[in-house]
Amino acid sequence: MFELSLMCPEDRIEAVSDALDALDALSVSVEDADAQTDAEQALFGEPGMPPPKDGWQRSRVVALFPTAEAAQEAQQLLTVQDFFEGCQVLGVTEVPEQDWVRLTQSQFAPVDITPDFWIVPTWHELPPQAVRSIRLDPGLAFGTGTHPTTRMCLRWITRNGTVAADGSSTLGRVLDYGCGSGILAIGAAKFGAVDIDAVDIDPAAVESTLQNAQANGVQLKAGLPDKAQGEYQTVLANILATPLRVLAPLLCSHVAAGGHLVLAGILERQADELKEAYAPWLPLQVADSEDGWILMTASR
């Protein structure tokens, strides 16, 4: 495997990428050439923010080819095109052969939420101390248990989810708003919840949630946000601060009397603005923190 590396200005990225695809590149990737420097640019913003730019001012374009000859031929053909003006060839280098599946798997180890509750990828054995566990592999949707926001939500579930003598759960009816992989909804099911709605704006997340629920042997309903109906004893939302502010009236309207609202995806410096946004409906408080992120909760 050989990679052809190019430096391109923002207005040339699309044309160069399309040309590389036409030249049978196995893959084409674009990254910020100034990453990890003072000139690094944030390209993707939160919902509600100005739309992201189409590219960085200086981008490194990397195309993979099966042979050195194919990479060099692509280089020669590109450099004589009008649209290549302003671009620069960085070189053709050989990419060492690797077991990419094994390399990816090595980055995801079992995660302990509590000493006896673990998130475990399917290629790992369950830790002997795992009384409860969620089997979950990294996929297209957010939520593998490795991020502090997810861990804090799951810790809240472990502290507040108990099964009563009659078999009912103290979590009651549960809404996971912005479910991603479904990890929070599945966690609620593991702690006794039986009436669970998981919703997301991304159809891929809905499908991922259903597949992960089936793999973990739990029952839940998943769909787009309009599937959230009525009031819930537990409302979970692990998203980001900006959409959480926008969603304040909606999320609060779903919290039943005596119910709980649990919010994550919030940085410590954003606590006051979230409290202010939710004040007309519910009094938010910081309930947990980890690595600069906080968990905020409220009770009706």
Residue 118, strand partner residues: 112, 133
Average confidence (pLDDT) over 221-226: 97
Q: Over the stretch 149-197, which tens digit does the pLDDT of each residue have?
A: 999 999 999 999 887 766 678 999 999 999 999 999 999 999 999 999 9
How confident is the prediction for the chain on average, in pLDDT?
Answer: 88
Same-domain check for residues 153 and 244: yes
Same-domain check for residues 208 and 292: yes
pLDDT of residue 109: 84
Q: Over the stretch 68-113, which tens digit does the pLDDT of each residue have?
A: 999 999 999 999 999 999 999 999 999 877 665 565 666 678 999 9
> For residues 199 and 174, is the Cβ–Cβ distance under 8 A?
no
Residue 150, strand partner residues: none
The CA distance from 249 to 264, in Å, is: 16
pTM of the model: 0.69
The position carrying tokens 């695809």 is 21
Q: Is 122 annotated as a binding residue?
A: no
* CATH code of the domain containing 24: 3.30.70
CA atoms within 13 A on the CB side of 129: 9
| Alpha carbon distance, N-terminus to C-terminus of the chain | 59
Q: End of a domain among 94, 128, 147?
A: 94
pLDDT of residue 11: 86
Same-domain check for residues 132 and 278: yes
For the cut 90, the answer to whether the pLDDT of residue 213 exceeds it is yes
Q: pLDDT-based confidence at 55, cuts 50/70/90? A: low
Strand order through the sheet with 132-135: 111-114, 117-120, 132-135
pLDDT of residue 150: 95
Q: Is 67 annotated as a binding residue?
A: no
For the cut 90, the answer to whether the pLDDT of residue 260 exceeds it is yes
pLDDT of residue 143: 74
pLDDT of residue 255: 98
Instruction: Report yes or no on 183 lying in a domain.
Output: yes
Q: Is 150 annotated as a binding residue?
A: yes
| Amino acid at position 45, single letter | G
Which helix H or strand E contains 90, and what residues bound it? strand 88-94
Same-domain check for residues 40 and 165: no
Q: Over the stretch 11-46, which tens digit does the pLDDT of each residue have?
A: 888 999 999 999 999 999 888 866 555 554 554 444
pLDDT of residue 50: 44
Q: Is 200 annotated as a binding residue?
A: yes
| In 18-81, beta strands by DSSP E | 27-32, 58-65
Range(s) of the domain holding residue 110: 106-299
Instruction: Report yes or no on 99 lying in a domain.
Output: no
Among candidate residues 260, 266, 253, 263, the one with its CA nearest the CA of residue 294: 266
Q: End of a domain among 42, 63, 94?
A: 94
Total domains present in the chain:
2
pLDDT of residue 32: 80
Q: End of a domain among 72, 94, 116?
A: 94
For the cut 90, the answer to whether the pLDDT of residue 130 exceeds it is yes
Same-domain check for residues 15 and 159: no
Same-domain check for residues 290 and 148: yes
Same-domain check for residues 121 and 185: yes
Instruction: Report yes or no on 101 lying in a domain.
Output: no
CA atoms within 13 A on the CB side of 198: 31
Same-domain check for residues 44 and 141: no
Instruction: Report yes or no on 184 lying in a domain.
Output: yes
Same-domain check for residues 182 and 277: yes
Q: What angle do CA 272, 273, 276 make, to 5 degrees?
A: 85
